[in-house]
Amino acid sequence: MEYVYAALMLHKLEKEVNEANVSSVVKATGAEVNEAQVKALVASLADVNIEDAIKAAPVAVAAAAPAGDAPAAGGDDKKEKKAEPPSEKQEEAAMEGLSSLFG
């Protein structure tokens, strides 16, 4: 999992996702680097547009908590729309996506 996080961090920082960079990030965390896993990750990401993959990934919807008693950005005292909890179908879809990560 740390290899995927390293690749995401490199992508976020607009650095090239290659074996040397992924290894450096993992080493910086203090974890032991498995070169075979690094090579496999970099090879599997070679044809992947990471930005599109992030956008397409199912995400569990978290209910947004209101920011205290502060008025809305426009200064209106309009009633804020409360976030509804995710439906069962949304939760199932999110869990299916999550389970695909682990096998």
pLDDT exceeds cutoff 60 at 74: no
- Secondary structure of residue 34 in the 3-state scheme: coil
* Most confident residue range from 40-49, 55-64, 80-89: 40-49
What is the Cα–Cα distance from 15 to 25, expressed in whole angstroms? 11
Rounded CA-CA distance 15/8 in Å is 10
**Exposure string (b/e) for 29-49, b if CB count within 10 Å is 16 or more?**
eeeebeeeebeebbeebeeee
Residue 62 predicted with pLDDT over 80: no
Question: Across residues 79-102, what is the average pLDDT?
Answer: 63
Where do you find CATH 1.10.10.1410 in the chain? 1-55
Q: What ranges in 2-103 are assigned the alpha helix state H?
A: 2-12, 19-28, 35-45, 50-56, 88-101
Q: Which architecture characterizes domain 1-55 according to CATH?
A: Orthogonal Bundle (1.10)
Handedness of CA 20, 42, 34, 32 (dihedral sign): positive
pLDDT score, position 101: 58
